[in-house]
A and B are shown apart, each in its own frame.
Chain A
């Protein structure tokens, strides 16, 4: 009698199960017969640089930081976009020119806003 054509799937599943389960079982047996587990407060602690962890991990940033986001967009992100714009300036179609102009105007609005808020004042 010929073996079932899908018999290899059963073998495959068997190997796929044995492969991860065997080391785990060996580790469990080792723990059971030789090495007693020794958990403790420091060993189970979260942080691992030798310093005790303080406070919560889930902190929220204040909404006031939006000004930093605006400044970052204007002076970092915009400059990245401006370089390819300047390089390809002479070969740009009219539509692309208008698109980048809208982008610049939007950021200019942000610059005016940040300026008005006094973000650009140099603190002495």
Chain B
């Protein structure tokens, strides 16, 4: 969206003590500075997530300290750790139970792709097979600074989301789904092994 007011004029007004904003900016400013994560950890990344929330790294500086034990009150799901195939349906269901707008940070190698367990039989090869991921953090496990960086990236993303026009923010689109199909346990693997509407395996060009 083109800025409604000239940036120079705006900063000039600000110097005079007049603060000009738009509804979209106000809305996004409020949202990005109060992101409540869902309180759950899956593996060793969760320890780093706890360290991030604790006093030394202090996620509270970014408005994300209120870890909610209920998905009904959470805005952000930090998938912190190895997602086993046994756990995957529960995670998707938790994601479905979160109210819009909701965001997902895929933390660490395991949550991104299965990590060191990618060749194993029991680990999901990336949570983005079932739910849409907003920010990926590499690392095994990522340091708390990396999680803070992901948090800031998410804030940047939220800040850029638009209330009107196209493309709008996902949660404002009536056609954008809020719930995704929960996989079921099949004979050998989760059924379906990936959500075809979400997940497109990378094409290999030789």
- Which residues of A does B touch, CB under 8 Å? 34-36, 38, 40-43, 45, 48-52
Determine whether the beta carbon of B100 is less than 8 Å from that of A50: no
**A35 neighbours in B (Cβ, 8 Å):** 100, 171-172
Given A35-B100, A38-B100, A48-B71, A43-B172 contact (CB < 8 Å): no
Determine whether the beta carbon of B90 is less than 8 Å from that of A51: yes
**A-B pairs, 7 with minimum CB distance:** A50-B90, A42-B96, A38-B178, A40-B179, A36-B174, A50-B94, A50-B93
- Which residues of B does A touch, CB under 8 Å? 70-72, 89-91, 93-94, 96-97, 99-100, 163, 171-174, 177-179, 182
Among A34, A36, A48, A51, point to the contact of B70 (Cβ < 8 A): A48
Determine whether the beta carbon of B172 is less than 8 Å from that of A34: yes
Determine whether the beta carbon of B171 is less than 8 Å from that of A43: no
A45 to B96, CA, bound (A): 10
User: Looking across the interface, which residue of chain A has its beta carbon closest to that of B71?
Assistant: A48
Which one of A43, A49, A50 has the highest number of Cβ atoms from chain B below 10 Å of its Cβ? Answer: A50
**A51 neighbours in B (Cβ, 8 Å):** 90, 93
Determine whether the beta carbon of B163 is less than 8 Å from that of A34: yes
User: Looking across the interface, which residue of chain B has its beta carbon closest to that of A35?
Assistant: B172
* Shortest Cβ distance from residue A5 to the other chain B in the assembled complex, whole angstroms: 42
A45 to B94, CA, bound (A): 11
